[in-house]
Amino acid sequence: MKRGDLVVGLDVGTTKICAIVGEVRDDHVEILSVGKSPSTGLRKGVVLNIDSTVDSIRRAVNEAGSAAGIDIKSVYVGIAGGHIKSFSSYGAVGIKNGDVSELDIEKAIEAAKAVYVPLDREVLHVIPVEYSVDGQGGIVNPVGMSGVRLESRVQIVTGAVSAVQNLLKCCERAGLEVIDIILEPLASSMAVLSGEEKEQGVILMDMGGGTTDITFYGRGLLRHTSVIAIGGNHVTNDISVGLRLPLSEAERIKTEFASAIPSTGGREEIEIKVAGRESQLIPKQYLTEIVNPRCEELLNIVDGEIRGFGGFERAAYGVVLTG
């Protein structure tokens, strides 16, 4: 992309759909407009109702396009959900002419991609992790180095074919051309993590409505990514069931009053409003007793996931929370 080009990102989430228009500058992208629409056709990041999703995409894109004064025809689409999986792979090639070239790197990556992927999975990203030249590992950019054998280690990210195709179908029915699909945890990390954090080691926990994404960076490169099928909507559902409320009122109470940490002062009360019924005051502690167990469950799962890849020992900058 060159200076002055316009780029549009589309985040199709479980709770809302966002479209953002940016203009490419010399060293950054300047945000021109943002459009949002409630998402009613997805669950845990997966499309369940195509018509509802198409309508939500159109509203978000039209809002962003109108604010920026442009007609949006193509987008970069973010993807997430419990169907996202990743695994490591390895490839090796001989070095032509004795010095590593860009072509040698491409061949090494292609060799690492030559692994069996089930028919119901689609490769979304092949992310280089590190290279080795004649057994010397930990190399980030081997171009120009002398040697005989080049090895590559990559992280391969896949998604369920049905989930990917349904997302593409929704965009096409909304009149949009999909330029590329980007794993949303990668996009989030580019937005909120610094280069120093990635270099020293950092874990990004991106909590959405239907899923929570875990991404680990070390030595400047992606080392691990995974998706946990628990998000903010689970807390909303718990409040709805526990207090016998419609989901809309449970969501309002969650965003305005909910806390996972028990209060230490007095008996603070909150007002519950339900159409057709008189408003009611309940102790805020009741809400905490509902929210706390779900948050503990999520954090325990995240803790186990991070310990599984040794993240606590390798992430000098700890965990960054976003969402």
DSSP letter at 95 equals P
Q: Which two tokens stand for residue 321?
A: 């929370």
Q: Mapping DSSP to helix (H, G, I), strand (E, B) and coil, where does residue 101 land?
A: coil
Instruction: Decide if pLDDT at 323 tops 90.
Output: no
| CA dist., res. 53 & res. 47, Å (int) | 7
Q: What is the pTM of this model?
A: 0.81
Local confidence band at 1 (pLDDT 50, 70, 90 cut-offs)? low
End-to-end CA, the chain: 28
Least confident range of 32-36, 168-172, 281-285: 281-285
Q: What integer pLDDT is reported at residue 71 of this predicted model?
A: 93
Q: What integer pLDDT is reported at residue 62 of this predicted model?
A: 95
Mean pLDDT, the chain, rounded, equals 90
Contact 208, 80 (CB under 8 A): yes
Q: What integer pLDDT is reported at residue 273 of this predicted model?
A: 79
| CA dist., res. 111 & res. 134, Å (int) | 17
161-175, 224-238, 273-287 — most confident range: 161-175
For tokens 């092949």, the residue is: 126
Q: Which domains does the chain have, with CATH numbers?
A: 6-81+162-186 (3.30.420.40), 85-160 (3.30.1490.110), 193-323 (3.30.420.40)
Q: Which amino acid is at 152?
A: S
